[in-house]
Amino acid sequence: MYWTLELASKLEDAPWPATKSELLDYANRTGAPMEVIENLQEIEEEEETFDSIEDVWPDYPTKEDFFFNEDEY
């Protein structure tokens, strides 16, 4: 399983919290790339509820990961 920002962005608007099957359904309905669907199929926890993309991909970058100072603009 591998994630990129582009792949993970396909799940940003998913109906969180969601189970694996709900995320797969969402990915299929929205036409997500096959790589997203394959990554979701590799998740072992069938009934676990995921609260956000960070639960699916723990290394998902957050706003704090970027060196952008919003106060400057």
Q: How far apart are CA 23 and CA 16, in angstroms?
A: 9
SS3 category, 18: strand
- Residues 6 and 15 sit within 8 Å (Cβ to Cβ): no
Residue-wise pLDDT for 30-70, tens only, equals 999 999 999 999 999 888 999 999 899 888 776 555 555 66
Residue 11 neighbours by CB under 8 Å, 6+ apart: 23, 26, 27, 32, 36, 53, 56
pTM (2 decimals)? Answer: 0.80
